Amino acid sequence: MTLALSDAERAMAAGARGAGAAMAMRIVAESARLLGAPRLIPVASAHIDGALYHGDSGTLFAEKLVEGGAKVAVRATLNVGALDLTGCSRVRLAEPARSMARRMMDAYRTLGCEQSWTCAPYQAGHRPAQGTDVAWGESNAVVFCNSVLGARTNRYGDFLDIACAIAGRAPDYGLHRHENRLATLEFDVGALPPAFLRSAFAWPILGSLYGRLVGTDIGVVTGVPSHPGEDALKAFGAAAASSGAVGLFHIAGVTPEAQDAETALGGLPPRTRIAVTPAMVADARSRLSTVARAERVDAVALGSPHLSLAEFDEIERLMAGRRLAVPLHACTGRHVVEALDAAGRRRALEAQGVVVVADTCVVVTPILPEMTAGVLMTNSGKFAHYAPGNTGYGVIYASTADCVESAVIGKPILTDIGP
């Protein structure tokens, strides 16, 4: 299929808006050609995942765009970086990587991106309207944008995300097109107890199972008795996008493109039906932990995706003024830190042993103490998926309540919350 560019798009690629914008447009256009897209479409916003330092080439790429005079053409929020610029936590990133990471973050600011530094921009006010085409990176942000907000984006990777933001265009393919957003698979959780489905503990487990079984397919979850809340949907999508390549899910009666299962399926019967059993849930839960037995916990990490203010409310309630025996790393966005500071809450949490982490998280940059055979407890399916490889810590997956209680006493507490 031949890619058709408009006169304005061809002019941008030829340098009408400067060398940086020309480079961005050429990247977007060539990506569209490789994907077989017939044209480019305008996007209303972007969320940029490419500002996390993984090596010098990423910094040099961003600085090349800056040298070319590029600026984002649409609203563009930033995902986590490699440094906590708020000063809440100490990042053990050594030179020269530290300076290169800072240069990278500075370059994206110069390009006109918002200094959000969060993997949950939808919690910081970046919530495109249903049906809006956008260009978002970061797997959990993408799946939340598509599924919970009903906006339309593909999983834009580094550094196509910033190129789309500068060009204001994205390839017309994939999840931008209505026909590719219809479910073909049913994921039925109706046999699970309603009390389990109402618990926050359930949703990372279900998301991990969903991602592993569904892969790249579009599915509709049926049998959910009531709206589980945005934080639960956030946790489900993040786990699904980590264990599989999920960019969009539907939940019948909950998400905006699934008034019911029939609507999500486009009026057709599902090609595949997965009936989730308690045994499947138990197996999925066990897969989230890499440590079978432990006499101690060395650290607790919550907030992948970043903690909301409501989740901080729950942590404070569970701590009940007690001091922690081991550090609890609470990863969040600076918009939440500002709200905590305004109420004097962060200082109180830190006095109890909480390590607030902003602008980044403990899995993507060195914040956790270095140790051999360390044990990390988390309530996050995404942390559970990535932490062993990224941090070297073994992982125990548990409920938020068990994570907090384990941090208080320094030993793993695991309540049997099964379906």
Domains of the chain: 7-176 (3.30.499.10), 182-287 (no CATH), 299-409 (3.30.499.10)
Tell me the pTM.
0.96
Residue 333 structure tokens: 């966005």
β-pair partners for 169: 42
Residue 240 structure tokens: 């699904």
Beta strand pairing status for 219-222 and 135-136? unpaired
pLDDT value at position 417? Answer: 74
d(CA 71, CA 364): 27
pLDDT value at position 416? Answer: 74
Examine the pLDDT at 84 and tell me if it is beyond 90. Answer: yes
- pLDDT range class, residue 372, cuts 50, 70, 90: confident
- Grouping H, G, I as helix, E, B as strand and the rest as coil, residue 8 is helix
* Contacting residues for 94 by C-beta, under 8 A, at least 6 apart: none
Examine the pLDDT at 198 and tell me if it is beyond 80. Answer: yes
* Residue 238 CA, distance from chain mean position: 6
Cα distances from 379 to residues 72, 109, 305, 316, 375, in angstroms, run: 36, 32, 11, 16, 14
Q: What is the 3-state secondary structure (H, E, C) of 312-363?
A: HHHHHHHHCCCCCCCCEEEEECHHHHHHHHHCCHHHHHHHCCEEEEECCCCC
d(CA 212, CA 205): 11
- pLDDT range class, residue 222, cuts 50, 70, 90: very high
Share of the chain above pLDDT 90, in %: 95
- pLDDT range class, residue 114, cuts 50, 70, 90: very high
pLDDT value at position 217? Answer: 94
d(CA 80, CA 34): 29
- The per-residue pLDDT of the chain, averaged, comes to 96
Each residue's pLDDT tens digit, 23-55: 999 999 999 999 999 999 999 999 999 999 999
Average pLDDT, integer, range 153-179 = 97
Each residue's pLDDT tens digit, 278-318: 999 999 999 999 998 888 999 999 999 999 999 999 999 99
Terminal-to-terminal C-alpha distance of the chain: 49
d(CA 107, CA 383): 28
Average pLDDT, integer, range 366-395 = 94
Concatenate the DSSP letters of all residues of 192-232 into one string. Answer: S-HHHHTSTTHHHHHHHHHHHHHTTS-EEEE---S---HHH
d(CA 154, CA 288): 27
The answer to whether 281 touches 192, Cβ cutoff 8 Å, is yes
The answer to whether 403 touches 302, Cβ cutoff 8 Å, is yes
Share of the chain above pLDDT 70, in %: 100
- pLDDT range class, residue 339, cuts 50, 70, 90: very high
Examine the pLDDT at 418 and tell me if it is beyond 80. Answer: no
Residue 341 structure tokens: 């500071």
Question: Is residue 268 exposed (0-12), middle (13-18) or buried (19+ Cβ within 10 Å)?
Answer: exposed
pLDDT value at position 415? Answer: 86
d(CA 334, CA 291): 32
pLDDT value at position 292? Answer: 82
pLDDT value at position 24? Answer: 98
Each residue's pLDDT tens digit, 116-157: 999 999 999 999 999 999 999 999 999 999 999 999 999 999
- Grouping H, G, I as helix, E, B as strand and the rest as coil, residue 398 is coil
Average pLDDT, integer, range 370-379 = 93
